[in-house]
Chains A and B, each alone.
Chain A
Amino acid sequence: MIRFKEALYRWIFTVMAFTSLFFLLGIIIVLLREGLPILMAVGPFKFLSGVHWYPTYDPAEFGIFPLIIASLSVAIGAMVVAVPLGVGSALYLHELAGERIRHILKPAVEILSAVPSIVFGFFGMMIVAPFVQKIFHVPTGLNAFTAAVVMGIMAIPTIASLTEDALGFVPRSFKEASYALGASRWQTLIKIVLPAAGSGVSTAIILGMSRIVGETMTVLMVSGGAAVIPHSIFDPVRPMTSTIAAEMGEAVTGSLHYSALFAIGLVLFLMTLTLNIISENISKKYRIKLGLDR
């Protein structure tokens, strides 16, 4: 009986452990199978580099270059907002904040990450967009700039908390050595602690970026939705995720349009996968560099 129970538990946990792998494979297979027809029809290169996305025209055109540009410009813009604010708050929390301020600020950062993305989108549409429109005198507040600002704010918690972890991993002995040489707190932080945590900080930034690239709801609500290559950061754009979300309903199952949306999903998946692999490699190197691997 006991033998049987043990075998049973073993099985249950094995199955549990393999579920992620199972779903991952399933997702890849579906993406490939559904995305393949469009890649065959227009060719992968043309699909990626084509500048016209007219999926419902006759003849339809399936070039996702504008969508890729939209995703990247929003992601990069968001980074411009999120990196200084995220890294800055981490440095402050880690080194400068007293116990009392820490107790207020740290939960605040964590709660920010708990705000549902639709709420961020709502906030972007109702508050940020009109504001941007007025300040910069642009035709619409729903554009790449607004999307970048809102997404940047969304990415702050990811970057801040991962950066703070990275700072915490820096051995105390480095700090002591620096102080013992007569360095000030600030010098120690900027010249010793931050560089020693450098790879951890880059990991934080890449993961924040990967979150932004994959984010859908918010970006759909605030980016404006024009599938053309933007000329300025104040032009409306249509990132890959919002394209899928917006068009899935109207695309006829089994059509080329339907297949193209899956192919976009595949591209998106490969992009975030690359970002994650890069960050994984960086943090591995970093652990070796600091001797944390031993």
Chain B
Amino acid sequence: MIDTTVKLARIAVENLNFFYGKKQALQDLNLNIFDRQVTALIGPSGCGKSTFIRLLNRMNDLTPDTRAEGRIILDGKNILDPKIDVVNLRRRVGMVFQKPNPFPKTIFQNIAYGLEINGETDKNLIENKVEESLKKAALWDEAKDRLNDSALRLSGGQQQRLCIARCLAVEPEVILFDEPCASLDPISTKKIEELIGELKKDYTIVIVTHNMQQASRVSDYTAFMYLGDLVEFGTTEKLFTVPKNKRTEEYLSGKFG
């Protein structure tokens, strides 16, 4: 199951179980997420992809009456440990959501926010960082003349890139994407995919997607989940060409899901 090539595991998931109240949503997940690689999570709706990805930055804390068992190790520390500093964890593990969710503030303020809450007050530094992040997110050319416009006036695709820029500004190490292109048109989708290809040079990326082509285009590793189980995990190339599990094969060929 575990890939044999020598890659550094950035995140190791061990015997992970997760419950919404009494309902179990994840069963005994084991996988490694490798450093500076793109790992795609695929599987039919409701199989637990979002649940899993939201555990990686403890966003599940916001949902009452939930429970996680097992371990998720990031740099030697179990992030499920109730004693870890979640604020620090979330700065290291950024997240981009399915629906673009810029704040109802200006473009500039959207990006500066993450820096300000970190206690950054140096105006010059913030300005530089805003520019740098927008450039990295391939939005600078479109946004540079309207930094003080409301972010809500951007198109959906631009808003999503703004959300990526906002996430980059706080310099995370890992970025989680939960269906980042679900509400975008093909051109915006292509831009985001190219962007992910760029970002993986510096960041470890986990992406949930319903689009098989997208998974095969952008990812190095793919995990196929079904009803809360991790059915198959491996390099994207192998999983897509010679899936080991019959379910995976059926899903990839569009027999269900």
A interface with B by C-beta (< 8 Å): 171, 173-184, 187, 191-192, 195-196, 289-291
User: Known contacts being A182-B87, A182-B91, A191-B113, is A177 close to B97, with CB within 8 Å?
Assistant: yes
B residues in contact with A179, CB < 8 Å: 59, 62, 90
CA A150 to CA B95, docked complex, whole Å: 48
Pairs A–B under 8 Å by Cβ, sample size 28: A174-B104, A175-B62, A176-B59, A176-B62, A176-B97, A177-B97, A177-B103, A177-B166, A178-B113, A178-B117, A179-B62, A180-B59, A180-B94, A180-B95, A180-B167, A181-B90, A181-B91, A181-B94, A181-B113, A181-B170, A182-B90, A182-B117, A183-B117, A191-B116, A192-B103, A289-B104, A290-B104, A291-B152
Q: Which of A173, A175, A182, A196 contacts B114 (CB 8 A)?
A: A182
B88 within 8 A of partner (CB)? yes
C-alpha spacing A173/B163, complex, angstroms: 12
**Complex alpha-carbon distance, A174 and B62, angstroms:** 13
Chain B residues positioned under 8 Å from A184 (CB to CB) = 87, 117
Q: A287 to B62, alpha carbons, bound, how many Å?
A: 25
Interface string of B42-59 (1 = CB under 8 A from A): 000000000000000101
User: Bound state CA distance, A255 and B229, in angstroms?
Assistant: 86
B15 at the interface (CB under 8 A from A): no
When distances are taken between beta carbons in the complex, the residues of chain B under 8 Å from A178 are 103, 113, 117
Cβ-closest chain B residue relative to A182: B91
**Nearest 7 interchain pairs by C-beta:** A182-B91, A173-B101, A180-B95, A181-B114, A182-B90, A183-B117, A177-B101
CA distance A88 to B145 in the complex (A): 39
By a CB distance below 8 angstroms, the chain B residues around A176 are 59, 62, 97, 101
| Residues in A neighbouring B114, C-beta threshold 8 A | 181-183
How far, in angstroms, from A181 to B101 measured CA to CA in the complex? 12
For residue B118, CB closer than 8 A to chain A, the reply is: yes
**B113 contacts across to A, CB distance below 8 A:** 178, 181, 183, 191-192
> Which B residues lie within 8 Å of A180 (CB)?
57, 59, 90, 94-95, 97, 167
Give B232 Cβ to nearest chain A Cβ, in Å.
29
A181 touches B166 (CB 8 A): yes
A171 to chain B, nearest CB (A): 7
Q: Does B99 contact A (CB under 8 A)?
A: yes
Q: Is the CB of A182 within 8 A of B97?
A: no
A177-B102, A183-B117, A290-B104 are known; give 14 further A-B pairs, CB within 8 A: A173-B97, A174-B103, A174-B104, A179-B62, A180-B57, A180-B59, A180-B90, A181-B113, A181-B117, A182-B118, A195-B104, A289-B104, A289-B152, A291-B152
- How far in angstroms is the closest Cβ of chain B from A110? 24
In angstroms, Cα B105 to Cα A195, docked, is 9
Contact B117 A191 (CB under 8 A): yes
Given that A176-B62, A187-B117 are known contacts, is A181 also in contact with B167, CB under 8 Å in the complex? Answer: yes
Q: Complex: how many Å from CA A291 to CA B101? A: 12
User: In the complex, which of the residues A180, A191, A192, A289 has the most CB atoms of chain B within 10 Å of its own CB atom?
Assistant: A180
The minimal Cβ–Cβ distance linking A119 to chain B, given in whole angstroms, is 38
B105-116 vs A, CB cutoff 8 Å, 1 = contact: the mask equals: 100000001101
Q: How far is the CA of A181 from the CA of B120 in the complex (A)?
A: 14
Complex CA gap A255/B95 in Å reads 73
Task: Decide yes or no: A171 and B101 within 8 Å by CB, A181-B91, A182-B87 being known contacts.
Answer: yes
Residue numbers in A under 8 Å from B99 (CB-CB):
173
Bound CA span A177–B97, Å: 8
Residues of A within 8 A of B170 (CB): 181-182
By a CB distance below 8 angstroms, the chain B residues around A196 are 103-104
Chain B residue nearest to A286 in the complex (CB): B104
Contacts of A289 in B (CB 8 A): 104, 152
Name the distance in Å between A150's Cβ and chain B's nearest Cβ: 37
**Chain A positions within 8 Å of B101 at CB level:** 171, 173-174, 176-177
What distance in Å separates the Cβ of A89 from its nearest Cβ neighbour in chain B? 22
A177 neighbours in B (Cβ, 8 Å):
97, 101-103, 163, 166
Cβ–Cβ < 8 Å partners of B167 in chain A: 180-181
Residues of A within 8 A of B94 (CB): 180-181
Name the residue among A175, A178, A179 with the largest chain B CB count within 10 angstroms. A179
